[in-house]
Structure 1
Amino acid sequence: MRRFLLTVFLLVSLVVLGAGGWGLWWVYQPLRLSAPTVELSIEAGTLPRGVAQAVKDAGVDVHPELLYLWFRVSGQDRAIKAGSYELEQGITPHKLLAKLARGEETLRAVTLVEGWNFRQVRAVLLKEEVLKPDTKGLADDALMNLLGRPGQHPEGRFFPDTYTYARGTSDVAVLKRALRAMDKRLATAWAQRSPEAAVKTPDEALILASIIEKETGKAADRTMVAAVFNNRLRVGMPLQTDPTVIYGMGAAFDGNLRKKDLQTDTPWNTYLRAGLPPTPIAMPGKSSLLAAVQPAPSKALYFVGRGDGTSQFSASLEEHNRAVNKYQRGQ
């Protein structure tokens, strides 16, 4: 009897050891996927057994109960985080659990481009298929209320940059990040304001920076463009900048700016109105923000494009007219 029990014990031990050895081997073996990459979405509150089933449903050839057992045995079953994940060929049960426990979600990215207006920002956010469109259909003022900025005009208030987000993230979250980023960039630039800068408040700096952004063909010209507008503001000379007129026209602008447009009054027509317009006209980048508060030391009051993206700057109307004849009329 004793020999029989010993034999049974040995057989059970061998089975357990064999199962343990197979299990150790299995967790390091690549799982078969239904495609080169499959997307796995785990909702908040999903229990480990449900996670295992979700992995199977996503297109991974695995027995859910076996995967669930691995989650439990590892001791990390409660560490699994909700989110969106990309699983690629070659992933093993060990790597899968590590990814889920660390919360290594698949991140998407959206880029807000320097010089864009808020209408363009909203349009690109709506095109992001996995971004939750919570601002869709909201008027701009309602959107700004939602962002905690009631009464603030949205134009120029968002910093142009690339923002990453996970599937299902609200577009409100992306806008809040861009809003905070612009607050920080503007404050940093304002702290470096030159005594020669004509702008008197951070908001004025933001407005001027947006004009500089739209008027600059080459980055190297930014501080000189800033100098022209700075000098005009100081002497009370109208800014006379086309991008502000175009902005004031809104959707009516068809790509061609005509003389009658320059003569049509809007709050943004800097040919007819002195000083800065009431709001920014686009999103300025870091360089334009700095240029607005640190204009180049120059007496220039005019500039004209040379045709290669750069500008010719002049201190007098006579010099400017000669530059216009040379670069615009070929005379």
Structure 2
Amino acid sequence: MSHSVIQRGRASWRFVLVIVALAIIGCAAWFWHDFSRFAITPLRVSAVGESIDIERGTSFKDIVHQLRAQNLTTSSPLYWRLLAEKMHVAGRLHAGEYAVTPGITPQVLLTDMAQGKVMQRDVTIVDGWTFRDVLQALAKADKLKHDTVGMDDAAIMQKIGAPGENPEGRFLPESYAYVKGDSDLDVLRRAHEAMDKTLATLWAQRDPDLPLASPYQALILASIIEKETGRADDRPRVAGVFVRRLQKNMLLQTDPTVIYGMGSNYAGTIHKSDLTTDTPYNTYTRPGLPPTPIAMPGKPAIEAALHPAPGDALYFVARGDGTHVFAATLEEQNRNVACYQLKHCK
């Protein structure tokens, strides 16, 4: 074989090798580009509120399979594995429920799982709710364990570390975050601790010479104020009326306590006969405060009970627009009732 033929053969092989090398480089470049695009391309989230729930002990392969089964991704499991290895999180993903929000990328989702940033939900205790209302809200809370089912009030209070307490009024109205697997008892325990802390702080700052012997009496009064008005400007004035009546040993005569004492007999209307039917909560027939709160008072109502507005008013009546008109004498109160309740204004 001539030297020139050998040279041409070597040149051909070099050309082939160059082509192969370029092809390999090209494929690698394309693969890296596609992989990089995958890492930052949002998942296929079709609706707000989607999530992925990873059970304890789930393998990385099964996590990717679950993502594909939920149609959140069509990308190769190889890409997911490579991304996890690149991020050094492949063996550090935590079990739990994770939010899959519109715009979330594989990189962000894996970061959330590695950091255990599980999905949080909120349940709200509303100012003025009764304990029955609170339990009903917890029963409807999604992904919350309902451990209180079948428990009576005493058992619930025992479970949250407050044995012997009446639950009414004992839970601070606000929103509480929880994650899947938390129990309604967990939420109640936190709400109870929040009320204890709030009440103790506000009691220490109370006005002097209040006719209240304990923080619990302040809680009872605050619950009445809460049910009488939702207006911030009226709360201290309503509180002032009740405080002065207590100081003068006058009956409180407040309808919300009567309604609470009626229990399931209350059908939306209070009659004159209800005001004369004695119950432990009827402040038309019994002096002083009722034996327990009648609702969950919010912090503003507690503050009003402990810092009542000064004045001489001993009565008030609703105007019908959410506000109240106040009176210092029974004669003035009767005129206000005739005007605002009976519509016989002069």
Q: Same fold (TM over 0.5)?
A: yes
What is the aligned counterpart of 1:318 among 331, 334, 338? 331
**Match runs of 1:270-281 below 5 Å:** 270-281=283-294
The 1:31/1:309 distance shift into structure 2, 3 A limit, reads closer
1:117 to 116, 119, 130: 130
| Distance in 1 between residues matched to 2:48 and 2:24, nearest whole Å | 40
Which residue type is aligned with residue 165 of structure 1? Y
Q: Is the 8 A contact 2:259 2:270 kept in 1?
A: yes
Please state if 1:240 is matched with 2:253. Answer: yes
Q: CA RMSD in A?
A: 2.7
TM-fit CA distance, 1:78: 3.4
Q: How far does residue 29 in structure 1 lie from its aligned partner after superposition?
A: 3.0
Q: Secondary structure at the match of 1:219?
A: coil
Which residue identity is paired with 2:77? P
How far the C-alpha of 1:5 sits from its partner, in A, is 11
Q: Of residues 66, 70, 89 in structure 2, which corresponds to 1:54? A: 66
Contact conserved, 1:83 with 1:105, CA < 8 A, in 2?
yes
| Aligned residue type for 1:212 | I
Instruction: Give the TM-score taking structure 1 as reference length.
Output: 0.89
Q: Which amino acid aligns with 1:105?
A: V
Paired with 1:145 and 1:64, the residues of 2 have a C-alpha distance of 50
- Summarize the Cα distance change of 1:36–1:267 in structure 2 as closer, same or farther, 3 Å threshold: closer
Q: Structure 1 residues 91-100 or 179-188, which shifts more?
A: 91-100
1:76 match:
89
Q: Could you list the per-position Cα deviations for residues 255-300 of structure 1 after superposition, in whole angstroms to 9, with x for gaps in the alignment?
A: 1111221122211111111111111000111111011111111222
Match for residue 100 of structure 2 among 65, 68, 87: 87
- Report matched runs for 1:16-165 at 5 Å: 19-33=31-45, 38-60=50-72, 61-165=74-178
Q: State the distance in 2 between where 1:128 and 1:20 align.
A: 45
Local SS of the residue matching 1:296? coil
CA offset at residue 160 of structure 1? 1.0
Aligned-partner Cα distance in 1 for 2:50–2:254 = 51
Cross-structure match for 1:261: 274
Deviation at 1:244, TM superposition (A): 0.5
How does the TM-score come out when normalised to structure 2? Answer: 0.86
1:70-124 C-alpha deviation (Å, 9 max, x unpaired): 2133202233232222223443322221232233333222222111111111111
Give the total of aligned pairs: 331
Work out which of the residue numbers 314, 320, 334 in structure 2 matches 1:307: 320
Aligned-partner SS, 1:26: helix
Counterpart code for 1:24: S
Whether contact under 8 Å (1:248, 1:266) holds in the other structure is: yes
CA contact (8 A) 1:197 1:295 kept: no
User: Could you tell me how far apart the structure 2 residues matched to 1:42 and 1:238 are?
Assistant: 59
How far did 1:322 drift?
2.5
In the other structure, the counterpart of 2:3 is: none
Structure 1 vs Structure 2: percent identity of aligned residues?
48
Larger radius of gyration: 2
Matches within 5 A, 1:210-225: 210-225=223-238
Conserved in 2, the CA contact under 8 Å of 1:52 and 1:65? no
